[in-house]
Structure 1
C-alpha cells in the first residue's frame, strides 16, 4: 500500500494559513475499496485509509516511512504567488479589463 507524504493546503473556509506548516503521511486505500451489496455503502478491507499521521518536517515523515519499509511518494507543495496591486490601479488609464 502506497503512502503519500504532502503538506496540506488551506481550506476554503479559512483566510489564514494555519495548520498548513505540518507534513502529513496518508495511506492510499483506493485499491482496497468495495461496494457492499445489501446497502450500497462503500467498504474497505483495511482501516489504514482512515489513518493520517502529522509530522513537523518532511524529513521526519520520510524517515518514518523508511523505518517501517513503506513505499511512499512525496508531493512537493506549490509556492504561492501573490499579485501585489495598489488600490489606484483600479482607476488607471491603461487598465486591462
Structure 2
C-alpha cells in the first residue's frame, strides 16, 4: 500500500510571485531506498510511483482522491505567512 503526502506548494524563494501556491499536491513516498544502476551508476529504483505528482484545486479533492484509490495519506500543513513590515527610512538608521 502506497503512502501519499498531501501538501500545498510553497512560494518560490527566487521570485516574488505566488503563482500556483493555492494548489494542493499529492506525492507518494518512497518505500525502498534507491540503488545505483550497475551500468551508469545513477541512483534509481523500479517503483515509478514516486515520480508521480498530481495537483488538485482543493484539499478536499486531494483527500477524496487518496481515499477513493485506497491510499493511506497524511496532510502536511502549509506554513503560516508572516509579513515583515518595515519603513524605507529604517535602511538609513
**Aligned 8 A contact 1:32 1:45 in 2:** no
Equivalent residue number for residue 95 of structure 1: none
| Larger RCO, structures 1/2 (Cα 8 Å, 6+ apart) | 2
In structure 1, list runs of 5 or more residues that go unmatched. Answer: 93-97
The Cα shift of 1:32 comes to 5.1
In structure 2, list runs of 5 or more residues that go unmatched. Answer: none
Q: TM-score, normalised by structure 2?
A: 0.87
Structure 1 distance, partners of 2:44, 2:31, is 11
Moved over 4 A (4+): none
1:89 to 2:74 alignment:
no
Equivalent residue number for residue 2 of structure 1: 3
| Gap change, CA 1:14 and 1:30, over 3 Å in 2 | farther
Structure 2 distance, partners of 1:8, 1:84, is 24
Alignment RMSD (CA, Å): 1.6
The Cα shift of 1:46 comes to 1.7
The Cα shift of 1:90 comes to 3.2
SS at match of 1:78: coil
Q: TM-score, normalised by structure 1?
A: 0.84
Equivalent residue number for residue 40 of structure 1: 41
Equivalent residue number for residue 68 of structure 2: 67
**Aligned 8 A contact 1:32 1:46 in 2:** no
Equivalent residue number for residue 16 of structure 1: 17
